[in-house]
C-alpha cells in the first residue's frame, strides 16, 4: 500500500468518526454543558440575616424554590437546588461562605458541574438603584460590593452576568452597613412579592431566552 492510499484511508476514518458522533469528539459534551446554568444568589447565612437587604440574592432563590416545589440540599460551600425548566438545568446556589468569600463557592461549582462562564448568573443587591429596580449586565465592576469583588478576584474576571436588585441608599452618613444589614421597611415588604415574582421570571428567561433577550425584556422594570 503506497502513502497516498494510507492517507485516503485515514481521512475516511476521520470522516466516519465525525459523522457518527464519536465519543472522541466534544460536540455532545458541549451541547450538554450549554444547557446547564449556575444561578448564584449572594447573601449571608444565619437567621439574623434572613430578612436583610443584603440577602436579596438568597431571598429571590428561596422564593423561586418555594414556587416550584424545590428543596435546597446542604452541599460543599453552600446550599443547592436543581430546577429543571424547558430542557435546561438551573442550579440554584446559596453560598455558605459569607458574602466576602462568595467566589470560592462559585468557582467550585462552576468547575464541578463544568458550567461555562457565560452561563453564570449572579444575583446581588445594589445601593445605587432605587428599591426594586432591575439591572442585568453581562459584565462590570464590583461597584463596591464585597461579594462581587471576591468573585472577580477568585475567577480572575468580571465577564459574567450579574442581576442587580436595587435596595436604594436612604441612609444617613456613616450608616451604610447598618442600612444594608437592616431589614426591609413596611413599604418595601409590601412591594417585595411582586418584585420577587419578576425576579423568578428573569432567572427562567436567562436560561431559555438568553442574556440579550432577558436584558431587553426586563432591564429598568
What pLDDT sits at residue 25? 36
Same domain, 4 and 69: no
CATH number at residue 86: 3.40.50.1470
C-alpha cell at 128: 445605587
pTM of the model: 0.84
What pLDDT sits at residue 29? 45
Element (H, E) at 189: helix 186-208
| Marked catalytic residue, from 3, 15, 54, 145 | 54
What pLDDT sits at residue 110? 97
Same domain, 19 and 100: no
Same domain, 104 and 19: no
Q: Count CB atoms within 10 A of the CB of residue 25.
A: 12
> What is the span of the domain harbouring residue 23?
1-33
Q: How many helices (H) and strands (E) does the chain have?
A: 8, 7
What pLDDT sits at residue 172? 85
What pLDDT sits at residue 203? 98
What pLDDT sits at residue 17? 44
Q: Is 54 a catalytic residue?
A: yes
Same domain, 53 and 150: yes
Same domain, 153 and 195: yes
Rg (CA), the chain: 21
Same domain, 61 and 94: yes
Instruction: Say if strands 134-137 and 88-95 run parallel, antiparallel, or are unpaired.
Output: unpaired
What pLDDT sits at residue 66? 97
Same domain, 109 and 99: yes
Same domain, 26 and 51: no
What pLDDT sits at residue 170? 87
pLDDT in single tens digits along all 221 residues of the chain: 554 444 444 445 444 444 444 334 344 444 444 699 999 999 999 999 999 999 999 999 999 999 999 999 999 999 999 999 999 999 999 999 999 999 999 999 999 999 999 999 999 999 999 999 999 999 988 888 999 999 999 999 999 999 999 999 888 888 899 999 999 999 999 999 999 999 999 999 999 999 999 999 999 88
- The end-to-end CA distance of the chain, in Å, is 70
Residue 101: DSSP 8-state: G
What pLDDT sits at residue 2? 53
Decide: 36 and 115 in contact? Cβ < 8 Å.
Answer: yes
* CA dist list (Å): 215 to 58, 180, 211: 21, 26, 6
What pLDDT sits at residue 212? 96
Decide: 62 and 9 in contact? Cβ < 8 Å.
Answer: no
Same domain, 45 and 96: yes
Same domain, 6 and 82: no
Amino acid at each position: 500500500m503506497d502513502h497516498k492510499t494510507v492517507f485516503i484511508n485515514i481521512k475516511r476514518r476521520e470522516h466516519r468518526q465525525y459523522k457518527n458522533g464519536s465519543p472522541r469528539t466534544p460536540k455532545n459534551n458541549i451541547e450538554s454543558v450549554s444547557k446547564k446554568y449556575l444561578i448564584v444568589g449572594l447573601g449571608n447565612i444565619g437567621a439574623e440575616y434572613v430578612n436583610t437587604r443584603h440577602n436579596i440574592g438568597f431571598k429571590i432563590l428561596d422564593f423561586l424554590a418555594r414556587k416550584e416545589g424545590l428543596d435546597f440540599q446542604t452541599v460543599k460551600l453552600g446550599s443547592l437546588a436543581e430546577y429543571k425548566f424547558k430542557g435546561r438545568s438551573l442550579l440554584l446556589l446559596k453560598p455558605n461562605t459569607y458574602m466576602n468569600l462568595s467566589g470560592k463557592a462559585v468557582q467550585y461549582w462552576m468547575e464541578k458541574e463544568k458550567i461555562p462562564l457565560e452561563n453564570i448568573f449572579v444575583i446581588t443587591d445594589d445601593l445605587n438603584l432605587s428599591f426594586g429596580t432591575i439591572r442585568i449586565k453581562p459584565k462590570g465592576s464590583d461597584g463596591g460590593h464585597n461579594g462581587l469583588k471576591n468573585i472577580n478576584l477568585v475567577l480572575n474576571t468580571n465577564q459574567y452576568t450579574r442581576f442587580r436588585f436595587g435596595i436604594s441608599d436612604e441612609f444617613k452618613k456613616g450608616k451604610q452597613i447598618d442600612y444594608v444589614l437592616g431589614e426591609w421597611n413596611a413599604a418595601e415588604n409590601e412591594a417585595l412579592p411582586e418584585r420577587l415574582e419578576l425576579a423568578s421570571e428573569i432567572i427562567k428567561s436567562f436560561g431559555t431566552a438568553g442574556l440579550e433577550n432577558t436584558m431587553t425584556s426586563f432591564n429598568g422594570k
